[in-house]
Structure 1
Amino acid sequence: MRKGLNLSKIAGAVAATVLMAGISGTAVAAPTHDKNVIGYITQWEAWKGPNEGFTAKGEANHLNVNMDIYSILNFSFFGVAKDGSLHSGDLRNKNIYQPNAVQEPGPLLHPDIYSSWDLHILWGELEYVHQFPTNEPWNQEQYLKVKEQGFVPHGNGWLHEPTGITGQFPIPLKKAGGAPGLIDLAHSKGVKVMASLGGWSMSKHFPEMAADPVKKARFMADLDKLMALGFDGIDIDWEYPGTGGMNFKGNPEDYANFEQLMEDIRKKIGPNKLLTAAFSASTAKLEGFNWSRLSTSMDYFNMMTYDLNGGWSNVAGHNAPLYPYPEEEYAGLNLDHLRNWMAAKGIPSNKINFGAAFYGRGVQTTEAQAYVGAPTDKRTVNFSVDGPTESAVDLDNWKVFEGQPNYNYIVKTPGWEHKWDANAEVPYAVKGKYFLSYDDVPSIEKKAQYIVDNNLGGVIVWQVHGDIKCEGSIVSRGRMLKECTKLSSPLAEAIDRVFTTGGGTAPNHAPVLTVPAAQSAQPGQAISFTVSATDADAGDKLSFSVTNATVVDNGDGSATVTYKAPNTTTSLKEVVTITVTDGSKSVTKDVVVNVDVAGTGETTWDAGKVYVGGDIVVYNGVKYKAKWWTKGDKPGQSDVWQKI
């Protein structure tokens, strides 16, 4: 179910020109590519203001999202309560990290319009009615407004009959002629809006809900309310099935329960709505899924290829590396490794969306001058979400973000030396002992090009307000909403530019790598062999890398690999892994090296046997070589024996 170039989206963009011309004056054509650009829009970011890099508090709302770039927006998050029901993210139990803490049930949308952005974002500019109007001539206009929008009395508050949403006074009426809500605005642009459920701090009750028919029934009933609100689908952010998350442990049954939950949701919402989920980028957390089964019920797999290093890491590493790099703490935590793993699993590439981080992660190191791979300096930090945690997070420079600054804040913060990691293909910055990993326009372009080259579905953005910059003026849209008259989104625009033009190049072809058959070596021996590669794309520069050996590029499309066998007393098989990349696509192959002890002619030392120069023996687990003729001279106690 690919989203992108379609008549409804183009027609929506034309209609939006009329609807929004009063504020923006111009309109941008809808995307002409067929890639997904999925942006998470949170209900809490709008509380942030100038201290966090925004022009005004309330700027980070749906009115300041370039909907000519995004194809899907995920409203984040609704949480899962202990009884399986859904609740507003604003009602999250802030002590959920504590042992035995649970999430109590609550309203689906926060009923207080003064302390929550739920209704302002979803329903737009509001006017407030503080009591139910009576059907009297002097009050009839207001009475008709309330009635037409579907509000009726409910206890000491109101019930919105079309959706089943309840709340307290005042009644939040959509203002006639006011700024539209997220769903109405998105639909006018041909953009779909999904409800995202869960997230890092609201996934605790997913496992028990998915395993309990009664709790699952409550969950499903609340899905009906979400769909009645106008959402185009459901996005599940269960972090994480099988392995657990904040204050809960996973179990093996989670995987099958997750798969069943997807099928149940699909049956509930029907075949024409979207169903997606966010997944970890760690392949260890993905092995338990039946991907063929998931592919049948789901539209997209949203892979969170960010948060791969941070304050929890023992060395300073990259938040969202595209490729591996020598200093990485754990192998395999990069986008390229994940793509190859998913391809080997036979997962359809057009269902895979990879993550783009519109934020960075800062840590402090033990070094006077930070660098990639520097040891991190941990201490106990009391996070607002995770509680007391051992972390190396940099709070000296990024306190208001708890170490995770938005891109739009990073770019205007002075005093940092910005560098580029040619291996990982991402930038980073250092300032004394502090290290910051983030993405910028060039790295986002490289990731977008990688998605094009590998025929992937598209990209997910966490989160859409991380890169916005108001270059015009701010207009108030009611009490809470602020709208910018001229908005810049450099990272989102970079994604759109590459997806639209394909990077300005023809599709990239992977190199072809040729390696020799299995090799043989004696213990302690160094051997060399040649590998070669070709590329159908003229002009692509090829580079070689290896593990468990060294490599020298010969400059003619070949390279010499040198392997040094260990001084082992038992025969073994070693594997040398060779990778060639053209800067966009990489190919990896293995060469087996048989380290043959028997081939050296060595034996266990025998006091009654004659040995001559060059003979090798093993005595007390140590290898020795004879220098000359000898008999009865004990190795390690005679000069005739040279220890190897």
Structure 2
Amino acid sequence: MHVSKRARVVAALTTATALVGTSLSTAAWAKTPAAVVVECAPAWSATTTYTGGDVTSSGGVNYRAKWWTLGEKPGASPWGPWAVVGDCGEPDPDPTTDPTTDPTTDPTTDPTTDPTTDPTTDPTTDPTTPPSGNPDEVCRPDGMEPTAGVDTPYCDVYDENGREILPNGLDRRVIGYFTSWRTGEKGQPAYLASDIPWDKLSTIHYAFAHIGPDNKVSVNADVPDNEATDMTWPEVPGAEMDPSLPYTGHFNLLHQYKEQNPGVKILPSVGGWAETGGYFDADGTRVASGGFYEMTKTQAGIDTFADSVVDFIREYDFDGIDIDYEYPTSNADAGNPDDFAIANAQRGQLWANYEKLMKTLRLTLDEAGAEDGEYYQLTAALPGSGWLLRGMEVSQVVEHLDFVNIMSYDLHGAWNEYVGGLAPLYDDGKDPELAAANVYGAYDNIGYLNTDWAAHYFGGAMQAGRINIGVPFYTRGWDGVTGGTNGMGGSARAPWGYDCPPGTEGSCGAGAAGVANLWYDLGEDGTPEPAGFNPIWHALNLENGVVGDYAESFGIPTTITGSFSHHFDPVTKNEWWWNSTTKTLITGDSEQAVGEKADYVIDQELGGIMIWELAGDYAWDEAAGQYQQGHTMIDLLHQRFSGTSPYGATKATGAAPTEALDVDISYEGFALGDNNYPINPSVRFTNNGSTAIPGGAKISFQYGTSAPGDMSGQGGWGTRVVARGHIGDNIGGLDGRFHTVEMTVPSSGIAPGASSASKVSWRLPAAQFSNVTVSFGGKTYATTYDHPRGVTVVSPGPGTDPGTDPTTGPPGACSGAAWSPQTAYNGGARVSHDGHYWTARYWTQGEAPGGAGQWGPWLDAGAC
């Protein structure tokens, strides 16, 4: 803010009087109304040592020392050791102004309360920072990065609290993956768009599209009987084609039902296990082309893909895109074994390239949405396993996403011998895989293969309402289980001589086969892969001793040896079925587990539940005497999620500052994969504002309780955990959402346009920092890093004393407890002394506040 020389002289008068005595008394104004002479203090000398309160002059301006200083010239830095008192020497004469009647020159006016005359206390809005005037900014979800220069139509999808406007009376999302391959082949039960309970869902993800050899999104070759665009089911009521559309198949039916249910959103999902690193050609043969791994290697490839996504959405009237990239992690041998050669060679670049992809997609979708007048969502399926997430840095992509679907299933399976729950809600301290790897001993007894851990991981980076937990409507299982409780927690090593599939390092489990493996995949030799893979309706039939009338079409046995009993664990909320005769265990979620997870979503204020896959839901067919496809569990979710409380819409758990500094954070220098222990990146703070952040300023942030509350740092930032949200094991769930950490900016501060970094260390994966604040001058600011809603971006005015609260008036009586030399003070203690408030940096006794200058134990928190 520009302030005239006259205003600076007047504004400085009262403060200068108090500092340098009667030569600046108000009597001077009565004697010389036309021209005021403010005497210059002794000239500054580079060889003189100054202490706090000393006054000197330089270049016609009086300065007061804030703390001990030697050799640092006044005026060299607004955040240096010198505070401007005011001009000295001959002022600009103005005989027409009567200082006794002009409120801008009245020596009795308190400059700390007059924003027109106090350049040091007026935080001005920075016009260069967002929001940029987008009328829909009010609807932007908290924490989602706005696309600069684009009027993204957020209000098409979100309300003015930044919550998604959901259909069918829902307050939480019910998201179902609808797969392309349940077409009724070989007489097997079909699951078509006409089978979807449209009046119970919020969102449908079509699985899958993929990346073609041209880097464009595709749904397989344009050949006859393409499920998406060239297939019909004339014998199925409700599956009639709309002849006005230029395509048939699933997309024709989805378009029709979407028009009848316009509130339900449809997002095709790109990738998945089979199509992350390849695609299927016209003959149905998988081509390991590299898919995401190759497309993301260049920005040109990413741009081609992003543009094709917009064309794809517009052509088929979709509502956005879902990215199911399995997996952009730096872990070796992660994802589909068919792609290991491609992925492992790039694992040091996969995550950075994934970040570029998601940022580009967000920009491209927002630009298209602004053109089309409707908002296009960008979502992602991300893993729930702590092992995979260790190689995905701090999940920096979440700022670009509308929501995350956590794949909090497949946490155990026959890829190893450890018999555990497919999708446990909580840890019980006895997970067999974690126990065998001594994970509990390494991480304060925190287990990371459960839904609650994964939800807290992502909850460290984004508000609860943008997180959906995954629920499996299918099972996995083992044969020949030994030990455990009704098999759970036991072991099922593959028999000697068994040829374990690729990716298991020759140490796989004995997957359930035969009657307990209805939805099997075929191996390379064309034989069923034993995995205990079943829809829930088949598991319930096995529990009832029934092999359904569909069994023969799948080529499985039509009789059951022994019997399957149902079990539920009250701690983990695991559900499983155990055959003590064949020692077969299959695990998945039916009504009991799904009900527990629905309650969890409500209690934790999460956004909702994502289902893999819709065709696994069930209903009882009285006439046939068996369970079959239906929507019993979706009915349950719809009932629980209708008329409940709104989901959590803010990252912060309490009141947040309404003013923000333009500060960003980046994370650098992660080790790869399993070497990323402890997690020890450099965290870089960049000051994009127009004024410096002074040395001694406090930076506070929070991180998720998915990691133990013992974060530490190096580099002189004094990193320390000031509040723990959880301590000890996570049996039955993690307690709080955040740990809180405080850092102190080094004495050099962070100049405008500059950055400063510190090494920080933690152990289990944690997704970013959240609710970052910067405090100095007695005031706390939010940061643009968090992309908060409803804040004003400010730049504290030039000349602000970082040790003085700009909202505080001149020194007077202090209401806080007075400092005492006999009292021992811990870090964070607050006292008053010598007309100021002070905060202890660390333990101290007997050392007076201000006595040791800026390096002492006390931080000046402002005048009182």
Tell me the TM-score normalized by structure 2: 0.43
> Partner residue of 2:450?
334
* Structure 2 residue 435 is the aligned partner of structure 1 residue 363: no
In 2, are the aligned partners of 1:220 and 1:268 still within 8 Å (CA)? yes
- Inter-CA distance 589–441: structure 2 relative to 1 (3 Å threshold): same
User: Deviation of residue 286 (structure 1)?
Assistant: 2.6
Residue 211 of structure 1, aligned match among 283, 297, 316: 297
* Equivalent in 380, 384, 388 of residue 281 of structure 1: 384
| Aligned counterpart for 1:315 among listed residues 415, 418, 421 | 418
1:235 aligned onto 2:322: yes
Shift in Å, 1:440:
1.3
221 and 449 in structure 1: CA distance in 2 versus 1, 3 angstrom threshold: same
The residue aligned with 1:116 is 227
Asked whether the equivalents of residues 403 and 467 of structure 2 are also in contact (C-alpha less than 8 Å), the reply is: yes
Distance in 1 of aligned mates of 2:568 and 2:185: 30
Q: Which residue number in structure 1 is paired with residue 637 of structure 2?
A: 495
Distance 1:48 1:383, change over 3 A: farther
**Percent identity between the two aligned chains:** 22
Structural mapping, 1:398-477, within 5 Å: 398-402=516-520, 403-413=532-542, 414=545, 415-432=563-580, 433-469=583-619, 471=621
Q: Secondary structure at the match of 2:201?
A: coil
CA drift at 1:87: 3.3
Aligned-partner Cα distance in 2 for 1:467–1:459: 14
The verdict on how the C-alpha distance between 1:589 and 1:577 changes in structure 2, with shifts beyond 3 A counting, is farther
Note if 1:261 corresponds to 2:374.
no
CA drift at 1:387: 13
SS in 2 for 1:40: strand
Does the 8 Å contact 1:282/1:332 carry over to 2? yes
Tell me if structure 2 keeps the 8 A contact 1:122–1:183: no
Give 3-state SS (helix, strand or coil) of 1:236's partner: strand
Quick one: structure 1 residues 83 and 389, their matched pair in 2 at CA, closer, same or farther if it must change by over 3 Å? farther
Listed one character per residue, the Cα deviations across residues 12-46 of structure 1 (whole Å, up to 9, x for unaligned) are xxxxxxxxxxxxxxxxx963232111110000022
Task: Say whether 1:75 aligns with 2:206.
Answer: yes
User: Which structure 2 residues correspond to residues 536-555 of structure 1 after superposition, within 5 A?
Assistant: none
Cα deviation for residue 253 of structure 1 reads: 2.0
Question: Equivalents in 2 of 1:77, 1:461: separation in Å?
Answer: 15
Q: Name the counterpart of 1:374.
A: 490
Query: 2-side partners of 1:342 and 1:179: how far apart?
Result: 32
Taking the aligned partners of 1:387 and 1:224, their CA distance within structure 2 comes to 41
Deviation of the 1:347 alpha carbon: 2.2
- Aligned residue pairs total 416
Instruction: Provide Cα deviations, 1:123-161, integer angstroms capped at 9, x if missing partner.
Output: 995679xxxxxxxxxxxxxxxx7xx65xxxxxxxxxx5x
Q: Does 1:42 align with 2:179?
A: yes
Q: Distance in 1 between matches of 2:350 and 2:406?
A: 18
In structure 1, the partner of 2:273 is: 200
TM score, norm. by length of structure 1: 0.57
* Distance (whole Å) between structure 2 residues aligned to residue 182 and residue 260 of structure 1: 31
Identify unmatched segments of 5+ residues in structure 1.
10-28, 50-55, 92-106, 129-144, 150-159, 161-171, 475-485, 504-546, 548-575, 591-644
Contact 2:167 2:202 in 1 (8 A): no
Which whole-Å CA distance do the structure 2 matches of 1:385 and 1:111 have between them?
A: 33
Q: Is the 8 A contact 1:327 1:372 kept in 2?
A: no
1:181 matched to 2:267: no
For residue 317 of structure 1, report the CA deviation from its aligned partner.
0.5
Q: Where does 1:287-302 land on structure 2 (aligned, <5 Å)?
A: 287=390, 289=392, 293-302=396-405
Query: How far apart, in 2, do the equivalents of 1:32 and 1:339 lie?
Result: 25
Aligned partners of 1:397, 1:333: CA distance in 2, in Å?
28
Deviation readout 1:568-587 (Å, 9 max, x if unpaired): xxxxxxxx964588x78746
Give the whole-Å Cα distance in 2 for the aligned partners of 1:65 and 1:356: 17
Q: CA deviation at 1:287?
A: 4.4
Task: Give the Å deviation of 1:188.
Answer: 2.0
Post-superposition offset of 1:201? 1.2
Deviation at 1:288, TM superposition (A): 5.3
Alignment deviations for residues 340-386 of structure 1 (CA, whole Å, 9 cap, x no partner): 2333x332211111001101111123428951111113154688999
| d(CA) in 2 for partners of 1:498, 1:59 | 28
For 2:170, the aligned partner's letter is H
Kept in 2, the 8 Å contact 1:121–1:181? The answer is no
- Greater mean alpha carbon deviation, residues 366-375 or residues 314-323: 366-375
Give the secondary-structure state (helix, strand or coil) at the position aligned to 1:311: coil
Compared CA separation, residues 230 and 587, structure 1 to 2 (3 A): closer
1:59 equivalenced with 2:132 (yes/no): no
CA displacement 1:178-219 (0-9 Å, x = unmatched): 996113302421211001000011112212211223433442
Q: 2:444 matched to which residue of 1? A: none
**Cα 1:473/1:420, change in 2 over 3 Å:** closer
Q: Which residue of 1 aligns with 2:407?
A: 304
SS at match of 2:273: coil
Give me the whole-angstrom Cα distance separating, in 2, the residues matched to 1:68 and 1:8. Answer: 20
Give the CA RMSD over aligned residues.
4.0
Query: Could you tell me which amino acid in structure 2 is paired with residue 404 of structure 1?
Result: F
2-side partners of 1:223 and 1:197: how far apart? 10
- CA radius of gyration, larger in: 2
Structure 2 portions without partners, runs of 5+: 1-139, 142-153, 158-165, 278-289, 370-374, 435-446, 521-531, 546-562, 646-707, 709-725, 740-864
SS across alignment from 2:378: strand
Q: Cα distance 1:278–1:429, how it changes in 2: closer, same or farther (>3 A)?
A: same
Match of 1:479 in 2: none
AA in 1 matched with 2:360? D
Distance 1:378 1:193, change over 3 A: same
- Provide the residue aligned with 1:633 in structure 2: none
CA distance in 2, matches of 1:502, 1:333: 29
User: Is the 2:398–2:461 Cα contact (8 Å) retained in structure 1?
Assistant: no
